[in-house]
C-alpha cells in the first residue's frame, strides 16, 4: 500500500461542489482582487477566531514580518522565539532587522515557558509564540510574562487554526495573531494566502495600508508598504474551508486519537498534549531515537513521512551571521534529530491508518 504524508486531493473532493461553486462565482464576477469575497472572508474569519479584525494577506510569512513592522520592531530590537520552529517564524523577525533570541522547547514541542525570562534583556521588545504542529502553547504563563516585562505578544498561528488554550482561541492572546493558508494548513487555500487578526483597530488599519503599497487612498502612499493581498478566488475558497473548519479539525483529532490508542511500539514516543491545550494535529509528530532508520523502514513499506524540521533555524546557513553553533540549543537539536510527522490528513481511510499503525508497531 502507498500512503502519502498528506493528500490534498481528498480535502478538495470532500467538498468538491462547494469549492467549484465558489471558484466559478468568483471567476464570473469580474472582480478578482480586494472585493467582497475578501471582505466577507475577513469578517467570518475574525468571528471564527474571536477577534475584532482580520486583514487578509498574501501568505503567512507576510503576516509575520508585517506584524513586526507595524509594531515598530526592527533594527536593534530582540524578539524571543522558540528554537524548533519553521524558518518563516524567524524570517518574520529578521526581515525587519530585529534579532531572534531562541528559547528551547518543552516536551510538547512548544516554547519552554520556564526559560523565557532568562532571555529577556533591555533590547527585548516582543515574544513570538508558535503553536507548533497545532497544539496551543501555554498562553496564560506567556501572557503574564509579556505583561510583567511590557513586551509585545505576537502569535504564529500558521499551524493552529481554531486551536485554543483554556477556551480561548489562539491568535487572540496578544497584539497580533498571524495565519498562513498554505494548502496543507488546517484551513488551507488552493495557492498562497495569509491573514492577521487583532483587536486593535489602529493596527488593523495600519495593516490594510501596508498590504497595499502603503496607501489608504489610491495613489497617496503614506509608507513604503508591500503588495500582499489575499485574492478574491482564494478568499471565496477559504470561506468553504472555514465553514467546515470545526469538522475538519475534529476529523484530524479522531485520527490522532486512533494513533494514540493503537500505536504501542516502545521505540516510538507519541505526541503529548498539555492540560488545558487543544491540539488540532496540523501534524502528528512522533519521536524516535533511530528516526532516520525508522523513516527508511517506512519508505520501504510504502509510507512516506516528513521531518518538521531537519535543520533548526539557528543552524541554517541563512543565519550563520547570528553566530550560533551546533550544541548551543541541545533540546531543539534533539527535536530536529528525532521528530517524524506520520500520515495525517482529512479524508484518511481506515485501511490506510490501520496499515500505518501495523507497520509502525512492527518496527524493531
- Applying CB under 6 A, the residues found at the interface with ligand PLP are 59-61, 85-86, 88-89, 130, 156, 158-159, 180, 182, 192, 194
The CA distance from 113 to 105, in Å, is: 8
List 79's β-bridge partners, or say none: 100, 126
- Cell 470545526 identifies what position? 246
The answer to whether 213 touches 227, Cβ cutoff 8 Å, is yes
Residue showing the smallest CB distance to ligand PLP in the complex:
60
Q: How far is the CB of 298 from ligand PLP (least distance, A)?
A: 22
Q: Which is nearer to ligand PLP, 84 or 124 (CB)?
A: 84
The answer to whether 111 touches 129, Cβ cutoff 8 Å, is yes
Q: Which is nearer to ligand PLP, 291 or 308 (CB)?
A: 308
Q: Which is nearer to ligand PLP, 192 or 206 (CB)?
A: 192
The grid cell for 293 is 532508520
Distances in Å between the Cα of 98 and the Cα atoms of 77, 92, 93, 271 are 5, 9, 6, 32
Q: Which is nearer to ligand PLP, 211 or 352 (CB)?
A: 211
DSSP element (H, E) containing 275: none
The CA distance from 197 to 203, in Å, is: 9
The CA distance from 345 to 283, in Å, is: 9
The CA distance from 334 to 311, in Å, is: 11
DSSP assignments along 286-305, one per residue? EE-TTHHHHHHHHHHTTB--
Q: How far is the CB of 59 from ligand PLP (least distance, A)?
A: 4
Q: Which is nearer to ligand PLP, 88 or 340 (CB)?
A: 88
Q: How far is the CB of 190 from ligand PLP (least distance, A)?
A: 13
Distances in Å between the Cα of 343 and the Cα atoms of 24, 149, 252, 282 are 32, 41, 11, 11
Q: Which is nearer to ligand PLP, 63 or 359 (CB)?
A: 63
Q: How far is the CB of 42 from ligand PLP (least distance, A)?
A: 17
Q: Which is nearer to ligand PLP, 61 or 204 (CB)?
A: 61
Q: Which is nearer to ligand PLP, 177 or 343 (CB)?
A: 177
List 140's β-bridge partners, or say none: none
Q: How far is the CB of 82 from ligand PLP (least distance, A)?
A: 10
Q: Which is nearer to ligand PLP, 158 or 335 (CB)?
A: 158
Q: Which of 16, 254, 44 is nearest to 162 (CA)?
A: 44
The CA distance from 132 to 43, in Å, is: 26
Q: How far is the CB of 357 from ligand PLP (least distance, A)?
A: 26
The grid cell for 38 is 475578501
Output phi, psi for 168, to 5 deg: -110, 135
Q: Is 348 left (phi over 0), alpha (psi -120 to 50) or beta?
A: beta
Q: How far is the CB of 122 from ligand PLP (least distance, A)?
A: 28
Q: How far is the CB of 308 from ligand PLP (least distance, A)?
A: 8
Q: How far is the CB of 54 from ligand PLP (least distance, A)?
A: 15
The answer to whether 88 touches 65, Cβ cutoff 8 Å, is no
Amino acid at each position: 500500500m502507498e500512503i502519502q504524508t498528506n493528500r490534498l486531493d481528498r480535502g478538495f473532493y470532500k467538498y468538491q461542489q462547494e469549492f467549484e461553486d465558489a471558484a466559478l462565482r468568483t471567476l464570473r464576477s469580474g472582480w478578482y482582487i480586494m472585493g467582497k469575497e475578501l471582505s466577507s472572508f475577513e469578517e467570518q474569519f475574525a468571528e471564527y477566531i474571536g477577534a475584532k479584525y482580520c486583514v487578509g494577506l498574501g501568505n503567512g510569512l507576510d503576516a509575520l514580518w508585517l506584524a513586526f513592522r507595524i509594531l515598530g520592531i526592527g533594527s536593534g530590537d530582540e524578539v524571543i522565539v522558540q528554537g524548533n520552529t519553521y524558518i518563516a517564524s524567524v524570517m518574520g523577525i529578521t526581515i525587519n532587522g530585529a534579532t531572534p533570541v531562541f528559547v528551547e522547547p518543552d516536551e510538547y514541542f512548544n516554547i519552554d515557558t520556564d526559560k523565557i525570562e532568562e532571555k529577556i534583556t533591555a533590547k527585548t521588545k516582543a515574544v513570538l509564540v508558535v503553536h507548533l504542529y497545532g497544539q496551543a502553547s501555554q498562553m496564560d504563563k506567556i501572557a503574564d510574562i509579556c505583561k510583567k516585562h511590557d513586551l509585545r505578544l505576537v502569535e504564529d498561528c500558521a499551524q493552529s487554526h481554531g486551536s485554543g488554550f483554556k477556551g480561548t482561541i489562539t491568535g487572540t492572546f496578544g497584539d497580533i495573531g498571524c495565519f498562513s493558508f498554505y494548502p496543507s494548513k488546517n484551513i488551507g487555500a488552493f495557492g498562497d494566502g495569509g491573514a492577521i487578526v487583532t483587536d486593535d483597530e489602529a493596527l488593523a488599519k495600519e495593516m490594510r495600508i501596508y498590504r497595499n503599497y502603503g496607501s489608504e487612498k489610491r495613489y497617496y502612499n503614506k509608507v513604503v508598504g508591500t503588495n500582499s493581498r489575499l485574492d478574491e478566488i482564494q478568499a471565496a475558497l477559504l470561506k468553504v474551508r472555514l465553514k467546515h473548519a470545526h469538522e475538519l479539525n475534529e476529523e484530524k483529532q479522531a485520527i490522532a486519537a486512533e494513533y494514540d490508542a493503537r500505536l504501542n511500539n516502545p521505540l516510538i514516543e507519541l505526541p503529548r498534549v498539555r492540560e488545558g491545550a487543544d491540539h488540532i494535529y496540523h501534524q502528528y509528530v512522533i519521536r524516535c531515537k533511530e528516526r532516520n532508520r525508522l523513516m527508511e523502514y517506512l519508505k520501504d513499506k510504502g509510507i512516506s513521512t516528513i521531518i518538521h524540521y531537519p535543520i533548526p533555524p539557528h543552524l541554517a546557513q541563512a543565519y550563520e551571521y547570528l553566530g550560533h553553533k551546533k550544541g548551543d540549543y541541545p533540546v531543539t537539536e534533539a527535536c530536529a534529530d528525532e521528530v517524524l510527522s506520520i500520515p495525517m490528513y482529512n479524508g484518511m481511510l481506515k485501511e490506510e491508518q490501520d496499515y500505518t499503525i501495523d507497520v509502525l508497531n512492527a518496527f524493531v
